[in-house]
Amino acid sequence: MLTKRQELILKMIIQDFAQTNEPVGSKTVMTQLPIKVSSATIRNEMAVLEEKGLLEKTHSSSGRIPSSDGYRYYLDNLVDPVQIPTKVYDKIGLHLDQPFSQVNQIVQEAAKILSDLTNYTAFAAGPETDGRLITGFRIVTLSARQVMAILVTDDGNVKNQIYSLPTKISGQEIEEAVSLINKQVVGKPVTAINQAMMQEIGQHLLLRGSSPEVLKLLEDVIKDSLSEELYVDGQINLFNNSENKDVRQIKSLYELLDKNDEICRLIGLSSQSPDSHRVQVTLGSDLPSSLLDNYSLLTAHYTVGKYGRGTIALLGPTNMPYSQMIGLLDSFRTELAQKLLDYYGRLN
């Protein structure tokens, strides 16, 4: 454990480094400490912190910068989340208070707002899909062999996909198949439409002489509906926040963020027991890709009553101002959850 003075010095160095991105010297620390300590004493304490692996000395300066272990100690023991200014909170509310027609529009806007407010890369995932009920399935004919399959759920979300059919199907055949399918699936949870039910529906279609090709459309649009709806905004900030501006590395990062499964794993959407009461901070050294070594990921879960749990996250440089960012995410998830509850309330 560190002494109170050592903790103060470590905290000052981390906060100063976040503002300047320059190594911090003893004189700088001395002017900022709330207690009176000589420069020589501070240098000695900084040397101790370096020996403990919490600070690092750069080659070009006598100052110190935080190490990964230093950041971890700070985040676990010293960070004090800062309450966001009222004008920022009002701005969040204003942008989320739009006439949205789908939950996903609200979640997508949330990612954009977070990125705009922080100049970092932001992620937002909507509430879990487990409790959603199917309210309708339909098919719209676009051309002789091209159709659009549409699935509507009780939370107002609409999923649609365009398909090219292997053979031409008459409008009457499509209508009969859709009518039969709706009798089987409307009012049931999306998650209840499993392989056994799909086979049962297929048998009904064959017995009625309806087109079995329609079943494939239903299967695909159900699968799409069950996939995590994750939005990313501010990818360009990866370049702005990169230390070495390595174009190849940034390109690789872009490719990483294009993989939905990788992002879900990154922000812990599949975590079985996340701590939903804290904003979690994962340093680059603990992230699954070496491309993220100089970044930190902040993740916050939010709960929307019976409609499930969602996630918001920020990916930024390791030397970000954690107090402000943690405070922002904490307030943002509360506001987002309330806006989603308001939206669901209007549907009932």
Report the phi/psi class of residue 204: left, alpha or beta, with left for phi > 0 and alpha for psi in -120 to 50.
alpha
Q: In terms of domains, do 186 and 48 share one? A: no
Rounded distance between C-alpha atoms, residue 321 and residue 315, angstroms:
12
Residues (pLDDT < 50) of the chain are 270, 272-273
Rounded distance between C-alpha atoms, residue 144 and residue 142, angstroms:
7
CA-derived radius of gyration, the chain: 26
Domain end point (choices 192, 226, 260): 226
Query: What does the pLDDT read at residue 76?
Result: 94
CATH of the domain at 193: 3.30.390.60
Q: In terms of domains, do 269 and 331 share one? A: yes
Q: How many domains does the chain have?
A: 3
- Specify whether the CB–CB gap between 150 and 160 falls below 8 A: yes
Q: In terms of domains, do 242 and 215 share one? A: no
CATH of the domain at 330: 3.30.450.40
Rounded distance between C-alpha atoms, residue 128 and residue 125, angstroms:
9
Q: In terms of domains, do 9 and 70 share one? A: yes
Rounded distance between C-alpha atoms, residue 51 and residue 59, angstroms:
16
- Specify whether the CB–CB gap between 55 and 43 falls below 8 A: no
Domain of residue 152: give its range. 134-226
Q: In terms of domains, do 208 and 149 share one? A: yes
Q: What's the pLDDT tens digit per position in 56-114?
A: 988 766 789 999 999 999 999 999 999 999 999 889 989 998 888 888 899 999 999 99
- Specify whether the CB–CB gap between 150 and 139 falls below 8 A: yes
Domain end point (choices 226, 256, 273): 226
Q: In terms of domains, do 63 and 164 share one? A: no
What DSSP designation does 191 have?
G
Mean of all residue pLDDT scores within the chain: 86
Rounded distance between C-alpha atoms, residue 114 and residue 123, angstroms:
8
Residue 245 has a CB neighbour count (10 Å cut-off) of 9
CATH of the domain at 8: 1.10.10.10
Write phi, then psi, for 55 (nearest 5 degrees): -125, 155
Both structure tokens of 60: 């070009």
- Report the DSSP pairing between strands 121-125 and 64-66: unpaired
Q: What's the pLDDT tens digit per position in 260-278?
A: 677 777 777 545 445 567 8
Q: In terms of domains, do 208 and 244 share one? A: no
Q: In terms of domains, do 241 and 326 share one? A: yes
Provide the whole-model pTM.
0.81
- Specify whether the CB–CB gap between 330 and 300 falls below 8 A: yes
